[in-house]
Amino acid sequence: MLMRVGEQRTCRECSVVFTLTAGEVDYFAMKGLACPKRCPECRRRRRRPGCDQPIRTGIVAAYVERGGFGFVEPDDGGPGVFLHIEVQPALPALVGRRVRFAAHNAERGPRATWCEPESPDGAGEPAPPTPTDRA
């Protein structure tokens, strides 16, 4: 009996070479999903902040709908942190809201790897402006 071999991939975050088993490849194909582009360790770290990434706070300052990204202004100062909609799907609704996030230094500057609203219900935060509030 021949054993099927999986696919070797290079992680797009840490550049480690990892192997997807044949079963994993079949599973993703059956679900109609693309195979992961990150190694298991980076995928785990992406779901929750890693030990090497301190949790910081800030305000989502902008969102660019066309590109699906925004920026967080950290409370501790420093450059704005790039935040992609893959990291926080509710990004458009968070503009002007406080968030907790973890970031790493990417090639083009700090990039969020994990982000969540500071308070899930938004209690104590001002509501975002409505179109009638703008002058």
User: In the predicted model, is pLDDT for residue 134 greater than 60?
Assistant: no
Q: Is pLDDT of 132 > 60?
A: no
> Could you tell me which of 84, 94, 92, 96 has the C-alpha nearest to residue 116?
94
Q: In terms of Cα–Cα distance, which of 48, 69, 72 is closest to 58?
A: 72
DSSP string, the chain: -PPPP-EEEE-TTT--EEEE-HHHHHHHHHHT-PPPSS-HHHHHHHHS--TTS--EEEEEEEEETTTTEEEEEETT-SSPEEEETTT-TTGGGGTTSEEEEEEEEETTEEEEEEEEESSTT-TTSPPPPPTTT--
Residue 95 pLDDT: 92
- What is the reported pLDDT for 2? 52
CATH of residue 91's domain is 2.40.50.140
pLDDT tens figures, 88-131: 888 888 999 999 998 888 888 999 988 889 876 544 454 444 44
Would you say 42 and 17 are in contact if contact means Cβ atoms under 8 Å apart?
no
pTM of the predicted structure, to 2 decimals: 0.53
Domain count, the chain: 2
Domain shared by 110 and 66, yes or no: yes
Domain check: are 69 and 27 in the same one?
no
User: Residues 22-33: what's their mean pLDDT?
Assistant: 80
Residue 133 located in a structural domain: no
